[in-house]
Chain A
Amino acid sequence: MSTKGFAGTTKLLRLILRLDRIKLTLWLLGLITLIGITPFSLRAILDAEAEAEGVTTEAVLVEQAALLETNAASIALQGPPDALDTFGGRYAFEIGAFTLAIVALMNILLIARHTRAEEESGRAELVRAASVGPWSALAAVSVIAAATNLILGFGTTLVFVADGRGFGRSLLYGSSVALAGLLFAAIALIWVQVFEYGRAATGMSLAGLALAFALRAVGDVRDNWLSLISPLGWVQAVNPFGEAILWPFFVSLVAVTGAISVAIFLAVRRDVGAGLIEQRPGPATADRFLSTPLGFAWRLQRSTLFWWTVGAGFMGAIYGSVVSTIDDFVEENEAMRDMLEALGMSGDALRDGFINVILSMIALIATAGVIQSLLRPRGEELAGRAEPLLSAAISRRAWLTSHLVLTALAAPVFMVVAGVALSVTDAMVVGQFTEFGGTMTAAIARVPAVWAIAGIGVLLYGWTQQLSLGVWVVFAVAAIIFLFGQLLRLPDQALNLSPIRHVTHLPGGDQSLQSVAVLFVIAVVTAVAGVMLFDRRDISTS
């Protein structure tokens, strides 16, 4: 391979840096802050508890380690309960698999943005027409991804060193965070070669991420080999503050190298702009349903909604398969039974708590799918495809509402499918259904919370298209409050800002209908206001 294949790589590097200078900076600052705030606030919580109990902070740490090691919900969300009696191990556990998934998400979006999305828009054609080699675009985005992950890893290392962790172990942890990013960047690099559309490539990469997350969740809870076939599981197997295992680095680097080779192999064998999946001719006429606003919206959204539904069912099934471990655990552990009894709780309370956390998390992830559906009209508008329809005899209200009907239906569909999948897999493991009705009620009770976030999105979109991406900010805030609220010691008023949090007391709790009703009202009012505003604004033109 001559260097000609990489001609212009440095120029493309500069182009990506210029395009992404704000986006990447925000991602990195956000992630490092999220990681950095954990030692800080966790230490404060532990200190406060130590003072209250009149023991050392280390003693509190050890005491909590014993509890966490048996907490299936925490393990499913956060990772293997390794070295929890050390500060570093506990921090790493709290930062958890979820943060690693966010790192992976950053990488997937970065890769898709600068490869397939550029080809799709035709901009890559302009670039390739210049003196630019066939591998330059891939090389440039790979370098950027690598650099981004290195900075993140280094920042993480510094945060841990600043807290007084040893440099070697901190570096090991920082490297494992960077590794998570690299692995998913590499996976995304393959998918962007296969699919002709950025959205499809992003979707497949995200599905891979969800699968990796789920595999390690089950593997960690059951403490078995499933974690070892998940890239996220490899990363967490490093256990930097315990045994400090190095094989995951070698496995991962082999995997990354392999994935990049596959990506290059695919890239040089296809045309610019083309995918590896062939296009077939379609019907020459439209059926009647397609020619209605709702039928048309369905046609545009059906595949996205289908895959999200599959994803929701999959997550429900994965978590459903580990619910029974909680019963086993309570049965086997006498001290636990005594403690629960002293607190006036039954083993069912633990089980309910677990399902509770899982359903909230599924609701949170499902919200992302609902937002994607909600932003579809925006995508259509920006692509200039709203213009021909709104120039036909279909009112703005009908056009927008037909999309929003699907968005609104998506939330209960996702939650019901997840709830059923959870109950059914649990029943398959246990041999009978346990509390099917309660689980389903809890799943459905979360729908208004999802709707409320979506409603805010509709309001923003109706107001002006430019603001509508702000719904992701609302989502991010809700997610951070849900995932890290207690860790960050946010005041109750702030915690209550997250709609997902309002319904965390089901099943088995005394969830008042009131907050569900309030969320429902918020959803309806914001959505109606959004549709009315949309009636009055200019349509953006390409």
Chain B
Amino acid sequence: MSAAIHVRNLSKAFGSTKALDGLDLRVETGQVMGFLGPNGSGKSTTIRVLMGLLRHDSGEVEVLGQDPWHDAVELHRKIAYVPGDVNLWPGLTGGETIDLLGRLGSGLDPKRRAEMIERFDLDPTKKGRTYSKGNRQKVALVAALAGDADLFIFDEPTSGLDPLMETVFQNTIGEILTDGKTVLLSSHILAEVESLCDEVTIIREGRTVEAGTLAELRHLTRTSVDATTTQSIAAITEVDGVSDFVARSDHQASFAVANPKLGGVMSRLAELGIEAIESQPPTLEELFMRHYAVEGQAAESQAAESQAVEGPSGDDQSGDGQAPDGSPSGDATADPDLAESDR
């Protein structure tokens, strides 16, 4: 497979501010790549470099095998882009804007245009100034999806959409994928990323900190376990890979297990006599937290979270700057079923 987007060691500074600092990103043709990172980490800057709106300082950038700066016009016929902040012309109607952007961009199929307007439930006769944030986003989405692009670049496309429209968006992306299109999706909506993306790239402070399939990334983190055993459960702490042990009673406890050590921990648990067990794979939220938080914050937020959820806890609190371990009862976890089905 050839790469639709190939970015290596990309750097871009605005004056003395380094926005991108050696970023890598590779999106294969036909793939949906999730592009994640905290606010201000450089996602939009990267995307604007990919669109030839910003000129990069150093590094390699190729989009569909071409240089996005020099071959911008030619490339843009094959790319559909929905910016994070959709700004419409106040005096133009939504329909006019869709036609304008489509015809000047990656094309406009009248049938598909009508279908998308219907699907996203958009009134194309309203003037740009009267649309709400969500409706502005729908205008940009319809314009992007009504064409015949090979590569779709979405910068937080659904941040203003209602859940119904978000589902419509996800279904539509599912359809275009069957046509062999490539998608780069920057989003903070984790359920969306989990259900759509084959792989994710996580960046922080202008640098790629993690890239791979969700399964691979999960492997790097921990599973939460809540178990009741016939023998005293405290013995489990002796097993390598167990952390954040919180005893509820002599026989019941919750703890986290580093995924590569899961086998060893499970067999030890079996020896202790399992009465009940609940385990949860790490959610994307946990992955996120782990990569987003800078060192100091991580320890803090971990302490804060375990206190909030479990109350002051035992000595096993590792506080090593690892991600906060979302407990099974955690209030911030995404739907575990979604996470499971994606594996």
Contact = CB atoms under 8 A, between A and B. Distances in A.
A385 B130 contact: no
Contacts of B180: none
A393 B95 contact: no
A536 B93 contact: no
A290 B99 CA distance: 9
B64 interface: no
Max chain A C-beta neighbours (<10 A), residue from B52, B87, B124? B87
The size bracket of the interface on B is 35 or more
Interface stretch (B28-36, B72-80, B211-219, B269-277): B72-80
Contact of A296 (B100, B125, B129): B100
Contacts of A528: none
Contacts of A285: 95-96, 99, 124
B16 to A, nearest CB: 15
B252 interface: no
A290 B100 contact: yes
Contacts of A395: 72-73
Given A388-B140, A391-B81, A539-B48, A286 B76 contact: no
B104 A291 contact: yes
Contacts of A394: 73, 76, 104
Contact of B74 (A290, A384, A391, A393): A393
Contacts of A344: none
B47 to A, nearest CB: 10
Interface stretch (A275-283, A362-370, A431-439, A502-510): A275-283
B55 A538 contact: yes
B22 to A, nearest CB: 19
A391 B105 contact: yes
A538 B97 CA distance: 24
A282 B54 contact: no
B92 A299 contact: yes
Contacts of A327: none
Contact of A291 (B54, B103, B127): B103
B95 A284 contact: yes
B140 A538 contact: no
Contacts of A541: 44, 48, 53
A542 B101 CA distance: 19
Contacts of A383: 87
Contacts, number: 113
A286 B212 CA distance: 43
Contacts of B129: 196, 279
Given A387-B53, A393-B74, A283 B96 contact: yes
Contact of A536 (B53, B55, B124): B55
A118 B81 CA distance: 30
A284 B130 CA distance: 14
Nearest to B130: A279
B4 to A, nearest CB: 16
A393 B77 contact: yes
A383 B89 CA distance: 9
Contact of A391 (B55, B83, B91, B97): B83
B106 interface: yes
Interface in B33-76: 44, 48, 51-55, 72-74, 76
A284 B124 contact: yes
A513 to B, nearest CB: 40
A300 B89 contact: yes
Max chain B C-beta neighbours (<10 A), residue from A390, A394, A395? A390
A461 interface: no
Contacts of A296: 100
A388 to B, nearest CB: 6
B105 A392 contact: yes
A393 B104 contact: yes
B112 interface: no
Nearest to A382: B87
A393 B78 CA distance: 9
15 contacts: A279-B127, A279-B129, A282-B126, A286-B92, A286-B95, A286-B99, A384-B87, A385-B88, A385-B89, A387-B53, A391-B76, A392-B104, A392-B106, A395-B73, A538-B54
The 5 closest A-B pairs by CB, nearest first: A392-B105, A286-B99, A284-B95, A384-B87, A282-B93
Given A291-B104, A389-B101, 17 more contacts: A279-B127, A279-B130, A281-B126, A282-B92, A291-B100, A384-B85, A385-B87, A387-B53, A387-B83, A391-B81, A391-B105, A393-B74, A393-B105, A394-B73, A536-B55, A537-B55, A539-B48
